[in-house]
Structure 1
Amino acid sequence: MIGPLDHEAKQRLPNCTRCTGCSTVLTDMHAAPVTAAGLEGLAFMHGKGATNGWLFFGKVAGGAQRFIVKVYCMPYSKAHGRPQDCANEVYTERMRLMMAQVRLADECGAAGLTPRVWVAPVEAIIPNGTFRGYHVRWHGLWMEEAPGITLHGLHTTRGAENAMYELLTKKMNKTQVIQQTVLDLLTAQCDRHSENVFITPAGDLTFIDNDRALGVVTRCGGDSMLLPGNRYHTQLRLGYWGPTMQYYKAHAGKSNFCTGPIDMRVVMDYRCYVPGGKIGADYPPGLKSCMEALARHKVPDIMRRYGFSSRKPAEILLRRSRDMLMMGFEGALAHSPPRSATRYVYQPQPPCCGIVLDMRGTPRCAQCWQPIIEAQKDSVKDNSTAARVKEVLVQEDE
């Protein structure tokens, strides 16, 4: 059960601001900045997320360890506070998908890239806000708290420029960048932006919020800052909401122009850390054997192994693993279904594999670099004919 069965009846009871029988203590994870241990006192704010899940810090009553708790099916919208229905089956499947991806990473030799997640009871009251005292009494998604600071937090924190430079250019775990890039393509990850990427003082990476993958987002085969040729990857390089885009537009075509300001996060690019800038079929050993195992099995076998309740996630894993082995990484990135709607598809930007800080402290590419100027496509509507055509990933008897 991931939602209340007795909401109307409970509304007739007194509101509680103190819970004497609760097994969980929730606190607001958006009330104050979180200090990143070992990072010179840097602090960041957790993102609230775009889904209807309510996010909290949570502890088991009497326990010391803090977790992230995602409560689905609250009777009220976190955005506007009005009553809302619960898509119970949809969110139950999201939980299965997140747990499946942890298992997949473990079996693919990439353990630790994704925090542990599990479904467990939440017996608590909402700690603050309009619905302070509301009694949560159903299962939620529990997650380990990722160590370090988000890349978005580093980017937006005044005074963090030098720390960010050190982390991304000298300490960042490049093997983990390659591993997660391969996993993002394999799982058709459609929400990999920098609020979902944590980095520790040692440069180790953790990738959170994997609930918009494996076909959850309609007509999206990938939208990740790690994958060239899609929206999030392009946004980092063109800076649609700042002066970067205008700068490069103004200087495009000038014969003596070399490079300009750039977002330091662009060095999280697998092309900088593999021979010749291409993975081809030379996957990390654990990931290659994992994909070979997936490619040998049929959809029902994959469904049973990872706990999927529908065929689509298993079909994506089967098709992508086959294509990635046969076409190589770059071939599959360009051609393997599921295919994306136009708003997610961009020209692959050239890599920038080194950053320097100029006299003003502004990051620039260490070599001559210019982006491919391309208009933002968020407002581009999907092709209605293409949207109606069902994409065949594998045959029905597979």
Structure 2
Amino acid sequence: MRFAARSALALCLCAAAVVSCEGVNTLSSKDNTLAKHPDAQAASPEWTLDEEGLGTWETCDTCEQCILDPLPAGVKPPRPNGGGPGRDPGVVHCKKCLGCSVILTRMKESQPMKAIGKDVKVFSGASGAAVMKGVTAERGNVFVKAWCGLKGNYRQTPRNHPLPTKCEHDGEDIPSSQRRPCQLKGGIFGWSECNFKFLNALDKLAEDANLTAATPRTWTEHVKSFIPWQEGDEAKGIKVDTRMQFYEVAEGASIEALYGGVLDARTMALTKKIPHEDVVRAAVFDLLFSEQDRHGQNVFVSETGRLHVIDNEGAFGPINSMLIPGGQKYEVYRIGYNAVCCGNLPGTEEENCPGKISDASAPEVMIDYRCHAPGRFIGTALPPGLEPFLRRIEKMSAQAVFDHYEMSHLEHAKTFKVRVSEMLDGGFERAMIAQYARQPPGDGKQYGNDFFYGLQPACCGAKEGAHCKVRIAGREEQSFNNLSEEDKLVWPGNEPGREANTLWPGPVEAPHLKRPMGNKLRRDSGEVRIPAAAALAQDNLHLSMRLAVDDDNGVITCEHLLSALEAIGVDNARIELEGSGEVPIVDGSAYQFAYECARVGLVPAHADGSTAEVPRMAWRPSEMITVRDGDAFVQFIPDAVTKLLPMPREREGSWGRIRQMLKREAEARGEEMPKF
């Protein structure tokens, strides 16, 4: 009886096994229980376990189609035969592969934009990094990027270099003690972990600063996938097994692709849809995090007008953003590449320079933050939630910021701390001007990210007759001209306020726009130098001082600034002025100039091209000098240091106290008190 029972049980188990095996052969994508994002559901191909060419990520060497569904539990992984027509017999090739973490596809060359009624170009970037669209089960559509670690000689475009198959500088398989130190820049071709740290630290900073609405979120994941199958691509179908950077999708297209260099009625209408707070937020992002490569190919606008910035690998450097006036990116759109970078054109500098200024500006100038800020000025009206973050950072050391945000380079934390301090000290424009003061003036020849070109007034519309004229598409010129004046403005009625009129009152003749005039004081860059010498002071002026080398080149109202420099002990300084040659009068005193100089501190001057300090050449009278004008007078008394002392005419008691002070100081130095 026992034997019979066991036999019956064995027969039962065997029968069950047969049913199970038959069921496995009919398993398909419909039986999969993996929860998928709707985007992933739409992108996932159907499959059946018994179809020819089905494999898994683990069992296939090359694959034509990735599947996010995992291999069903308890099922032996399918493994197609190796080889085939034109293939290495040792390579297992699959038509479809289960178990991918992301489905990768190549970027298209163009995409439709319904808002402007045409297809627009998709830029792939100039760095050569691998940039692909992706779909994951959890997040749906994403973008994925790598700077190394893909096999098969992957090229982003035929003109790019192949991606390095190994991340030899800082790959995850290299012991940390043997990795090279991270470089200052982010997104470097051939690097991996340093690029990941750079971008993830920036993402965390943006989150804490409440600025994530300005740019897509980003993170790092290990990718199990295959390079997209594209005929003619040497790397098609090669297995991907490496860490890559993921990004949320920025909807729409780049602003440079949308405009195509000219403006028409539809692109003007889309420009007017852009929320002003989007532009201001993006500009604050670029200034706060010191973006040095913000051009129109990485500023995106959606069908509804929402604006985001992408590719933030130029952070923590100088500022050079098309959203912020004064940098090279902005200036190229304003007056043309030839006028800004003539030395970078094909041919010789003698042939190309000085470059010709464009007759009209590119439409990108209307994305200047000032066109979208009330009164064309931000000041301390920073985006919500930002100031408390700045206050927290201000209390931290650069090392603490570096450690907390796991940054890739300590200099990034130092640069960030400076920007935070300057924003808190006086707002957006204060920080912008302070940073530009550290950047060399552009000469109209060199290409680079660290130049400053002067602050021109904003160009916030396409109205002719203003200081700027935006380039209109020839075929659209008549229909565009039929638009109302309000329809030609980014923000009708948003005129410059008092602050904007003070900071950029009119067109500025920046050094790169000046032309050689033969003046012996004019340098190659077109700059005129005017020594602060008494011999150059113009006579018969009572309300202000004017220093001039000739009738055309002079500086007025410089007495307040020169007094401030004298008072704080500066005897060697370079003062740069643009525009009308007038030193801002501020409150009419030397206080503000003295305060700002004292706040940043003084350093020894060095000779050009040398580390040697320039000897102090301060003028000192050898005897007491008195200059009178009626009852008023100024008296110069020989001394080793500069002092400014009042000399009251009516209160001899006060003058007596000053005498006592001078006497004590002279005795302390072992000198005789000057005779009065």
Counterpart contact for 1:15–1:133, Cα < 8 Å? no
Match of 1:81 among 159, 162, 175: 162
For the residues of structure 1 that align with 2:609 and 2:142, how far apart are their CA atoms? 39
Q: Give how far 1:214 is off.
A: 1.7
For the residues of structure 2 that align with 1:301 and 1:251, how far apart are their CA atoms? 47
Task: Give 2:264's aligned residue.
Answer: 161
Match of 2:254 among 133, 150, 153: 150
For the residues of structure 1 that align with 2:110 and 2:92, how far apart are their CA atoms? 29
For the residues of structure 2 that align with 1:77 and 1:372, how far apart are their CA atoms? 47
Identify unmatched segments of 5+ residues in structure 2: 1-87, 171-181, 183-190, 343-351, 443-447, 464-471, 490-494, 496-505, 514-524, 526-606, 612-676
Counterpart contact for 2:300–2:309, Cα < 8 Å? yes
5 Å matches for 1:344-359? 344-345=450-451, 346-356=453-463, 358-359=477-478
Q: Which amino acid aligns with 2:478?
A: M
Report percent identity of matched pairs.
26
Q: Which amino acid aligns with 1:280?
A: G
For the residues of structure 2 that align with 1:333 and 1:303, how far apart are their CA atoms? 23
Counterpart contact for 2:115–2:270, Cα < 8 Å? no
Counterpart contact for 1:52–1:77, Cα < 8 Å? no
TM-score by structure 2 length? 0.46
Higher RCO, 1 or 2 (CA under 8 Å, sep at least 6)? Answer: 1
- Tell me the alpha carbon deviations over residues 275-303 of structure 1, each in whole angstroms, 9 at most, x when there is no partner: 54333333234222222221111123212
Q: Give how far 1:222 is off.
A: 1.1
5 Å matches for 1:231-380? 231-240=328-337, 261-336=360-435, 339-340=438-439, 343=448, 344-345=450-451, 346-356=453-463, 358-359=477-478, 361=480, 375=512
Q: Give how far 1:187 is off.
A: 0.7
TM-score by structure 1 length? 0.75
Q: Does 1:114 align with 2:215?
A: yes
Structure 1 stretch 341-350 or stretch 310-319: which is displaced more? Answer: 341-350
CA RMSD of aligned residues (A): 3.9
Structure 1 stretch 332-341 or stretch 98-107: which is displaced more? Answer: 332-341
Cα 1:115–1:91 change in 2 (3 A) is same
Q: Residue 355 of structure 1: SS of its match in structure 2?
A: coil
Q: Give how far 1:15 is off.
A: 7.5
Q: Give how far 1:70 is off.
A: 0.6
Counterpart contact for 1:109–1:286, Cα < 8 Å? yes
Cα 1:308–1:80 change in 2 (3 A) is closer
Q: Give how far 1:98 is off.
A: 2.2
- Tell me the alpha carbon deviations over residues 11-62 of structure 1, each in whole angstroms, 9 at most, x when there is no partner: 9963847452433221111x342234x52553333322233420111123x6
For the residues of structure 2 that align with 1:130 and 1:72, how far apart are their CA atoms? 18
Counterpart contact for 1:294–1:317, Cα < 8 Å? no
Match of 1:65 among 140, 151, 173: 140
Q: Which amino acid aligns with 1:167?
A: L
For the residues of structure 2 that align with 1:301 and 1:49, how far apart are their CA atoms? 34
Q: Residue 454 of structure 2: SS of its match in structure 1?
A: coil
Task: Give 1:218's aligned residue.
Answer: none
- Tell me the alpha carbon deviations over residues 223-269 of structure 1, each in whole angstroms, 9 at most, x when there is no partner: 11012111101111112269xx99xx9899xxxxxxx6332221112
Q: Residue 49 of structure 1: SS of its match in structure 2?
A: coil
For the residues of structure 1 that align with 2:255 and 2:357, how far apart are their CA atoms? 28
For the residues of structure 2 that align with 1:388 and 1:28, how far apart are their CA atoms? 52
Counterpart contact for 1:319–1:337, Cα < 8 Å? no
Counterpart contact for 1:44–1:157, Cα < 8 Å? no
Q: Give how far 1:141 is off.
A: 0.7
Cα 1:300–1:13 change in 2 (3 A) is farther
For the residues of structure 2 that align with 1:370 and 1:359, how far apart are their CA atoms? 29
For the residues of structure 2 that align with 1:138 and 1:388, how far apart are their CA atoms? 48
For the residues of structure 2 that align with 1:301 and 1:228, how far apart are their CA atoms? 32
Q: Give how far 1:97 is off.
A: 2.6
Q: Which amino acid aligns with 2:241?
A: R
- Tell me the alpha carbon deviations over residues 187-240 of structure 1, each in whole angstroms, 9 at most, x when there is no partner: 11012111111112332211111122124xxxxx11110121111011111122
Counterpart contact for 1:119–1:142, Cα < 8 Å? yes
Structure 1 stretch 120-129 or stretch 272-281: which is displaced more? Answer: 272-281
Task: Give 1:56's aligned residue.
Answer: 132
Q: Which amino acid aligns with 1:354?
A: G
Cα 1:164–1:295 change in 2 (3 A) is same
For the residues of structure 2 that align with 1:72 and 1:251, how far apart are their CA atoms? 37
Match of 1:20 among 97, 101, 104: 97
Cα 1:12–1:297 change in 2 (3 A) is farther
Cα 1:250–1:329 change in 2 (3 A) is same
Q: Residue 97 of structure 2: SS of its match in structure 1?
A: coil
